[in-house]
Structure 1
């Protein structure tokens, strides 16, 4: 590969490993790619995994690279290597010759789906997995693929910053910080990527002021630990359903590493297909994105009759999940920053919330916005300080 090309390994599943290629692959990179394929195919074969090449980031591919790929895959007995995301120029190179050991897939998602279908159709020790199980596994693979790249970047930063021995040591450090402060791994990885580099060996954020814990009134019989992210979000979803007499609910939080896109973080009574479709929302017509953009609550009284949603994948997923009406309230701080969106659903069409319910939901959303701001400036920074201290010891 050339100086502008790169390869990243994404161990996204129990049945597949993804190699993400990017840049321009010319004849000088054919040998390097061949060595990588020899290594990765042997490892994948030993572990019973399928190999997927994600070339969505490749701008150019030479015929020498194609021939190398053919030579390494032509006689595979475990099934073809799946190549996903090829741009028209790369696809033209790949389809100009017969490649019996390669299966082209339009997207990474479809490649992972093909892995799952092959596993379900092939010999198994028990009964073949039914279609619903296969679909659920595909959703799980896609969820892992969405976060693997971010975690890999965080590993690289820690590896370089603290002079660690290798990627596994960097992952162990990241996982240790996640467990020590009960911060989800992907949340901590995102903080490592987005936070400014530490300037002092002792502390990452010297002199920072620790804010008092927020008070959350979630109408539960017992107290909620505001440092426990999962517990807060689960309790908040339960509260949203209870106070609005809803049939389902979800909470999206903004992701500052993805230009404030909305990431699904908690839900109640929404099926796997809906959660997969709304896992990452980058804009309308999703109702939660409309509320984020408007900066105020938005109600869609009938998804089936909404001109933007009715024929859209988001609308179809919503209807398939049994929801006809959706109300979304942005989680806005006192400074006007949107930290996420709370959405509630009803199976019957029509705007059902009265003013009292809307007011309670508004208050819940505001409390969650204040909590999220505190959590990021307190718990997440505590976890980063821990990483810095532990990484500094390993370097020393």
Structure 2
């Protein structure tokens, strides 16, 4: 379940309402699931909208929750609820029993396409030979992708608020949020990044300082690619964007992406910067927790990983990652981990080519590894200086607690 409600509804102009579910739907969540799903179904019926359940972010669903879902929709055989659930445990659980009131699809795009009104066929063939989704569903998919991204950030920010609320005995959650926002703005640290640091960092070690004994004025980090792009090391967004641009220049790839690890989520990979990748792929790659995604393989092995043909890779073809990559026009993927001096992996830099079997010459491959090492060193510096300074600021400027 999410921190608040497991269901978030988004109406669409074309007669569709998308309800996003996330987290774990266990037996304990069934009463809330039944109540809120019933409310959304009633509201959609009153508004004349078809309901789509986006369950891409549901990690686990119990048999009791499946039964609850089927009972709530059993009367809708004439106009079933469309469910987007990727292949895997959740999708299998929903497909196994009789499903008179729901129709299960592998992706949100497939579910929305099933509701797209029939029109005159488009006889034109795109230049790359790939099918294009119906235009009417593009805006809705974009809105849903944005909802997912906001939900991921909001969950961490809410947890950090709760930690500060309890730690400093604050009288209102709004005070914890205001403190986070103030620290974020003062040090130009994204709110989500600061919230992650609050969750992952050990508790403050003294009343005066979160980290006593450390310098709050660490020297600015310097490296070749930052100098070439004229980017200040403390500007996190521009540093990561410069790294992606530099990787594209080194490799002449068609697209690139940069993931960083999140210590508050067991070092899951978060997509931070990208170039040339479509919205559906970015939504899929926003949060990755392990293989067969190519970048997750590189993170696990601590070595560069190259897939010369996505269409022929056994691991990708049996997983949603494969079709999403192919739909994005990616046939060759090369992922290089960001390895720190102590051997840790703090992220992955990935390149995409439209042609299969696109090999990177040795000189360029070595230059890419060197760039990844520079980005890893920068991120280590950023976390030890800018982020810790922001945490110290929170501790030193905390509001007075309850009397």
TM bucket normalised to smaller: 0.7 to 0.9
Residue pair 1:274, 1:317 contacting (<8 A) in 2 also: yes
Which residue matches 2:3? Answer: 8
| Cα shift readout 1:290-311 (whole Å, capped 9, x = no counterpart) | 2112211111122122222234
Deviating more after overlay: 93-102 vs 259-268? 93-102
The question of 1:58 aligning with 2:26 is answered: yes
Is the aligned partner of 1:185 residue 2:191?
yes
Contact 2:8–2:21 (CA under 8 A) maintained in structure 1: no
In the alignment, does 2:207 pair up with 1:201? yes
CA contact (8 A) 2:229 2:242 kept: no
**Aligned equivalents of 1:327 and 1:358: distance in 2?**
10
Number of matched residues?
351
Choose from 126, 131, 134 the match for 2:140. 134
SS, match of residue 311 in structure 2: helix
SS in 1 for 2:141: helix
Change in 2 beyond 3 A, CA 1:312/1:99: closer
Q: 1:375 aligns with which of 360, 382, 386?
A: 382
Distance in 1 (alpha carbons) for counterparts of 2:293 and 2:375: 21
Is 1:92 the equivalent of 2:87? no
Given that 1:326 and 1:344 are in contact with CA atoms closer than 8 Å, whether structure 2 keeps it comes out as yes
Among 335, 350, 364, which residue is 1:343 paired with? Answer: 350
What is the aligned partner in structure 1 of residue 283 from structure 2?
276
Pairing 1:264-303 to 2, within 5 Å after superposition = 264-303=271-310
Find the counterpart in structure 2 of residue 167 from structure 1: 173
Deviation track 1:250-305 (CA, whole Å, cap 9, x = no partner) reads 11111122222211111111111111111112122211112112211111122122
Matched, 1:176 2:182: yes
Deviation at 1:143, TM superposition (A): 1.3
Once the two structures are overlaid, the 10-residue window that deviates more, 282-291 or 369-378, is: 282-291
The change in CA–CA distance for 1:154 and 1:82 in structure 2 (over 3 A counts) is: farther
Change (3 A) 1:157 1:271: same
Q: What are the within-5 Å matches in structure 2 for residues 53-132 of structure 1?
A: 56-60=24-28, 76=43, 77=46, 87-93=62-68, 95-96=70-71, 130-132=136-138
Structure 1: segments with no counterpart, 5+ residues: 1-5, 17-48, 122-127
Inter-CA distance 12–179: structure 2 relative to 1 (3 Å threshold): farther
Q: Per the alignment, in what secondary structure is the counterpart of residue 262 of structure 1?
A: strand
Distance 1:137 1:311 in 2: 28
State how far apart, in whole Å, the 2-side matches of 1:89 and 1:255 are: 32
State the distance in 1 between where 2:257 and 2:37 align: 46
Provide closer, same or farther for how the CA distance between residues 55 and 144 of structure 1 changes in structure 2, counting only shifts above 3 A.
Answer: closer
The CA RMSD over aligned residues, in Å, is 3.9
Contact 1:301 1:326 in 2 (8 A): yes
| Equivalence for 1:326 | 333
* Aligned residue number for residue 20 of structure 1: none
CA 1:196–1:178: 2 relative to 1, 3 Å: same
Separation (CA, whole Å) in 2 of partners of 1:311 and 1:367: 34
**Corresponding residue SS for 2:210:** coil
TM-score by length of 2: 0.74
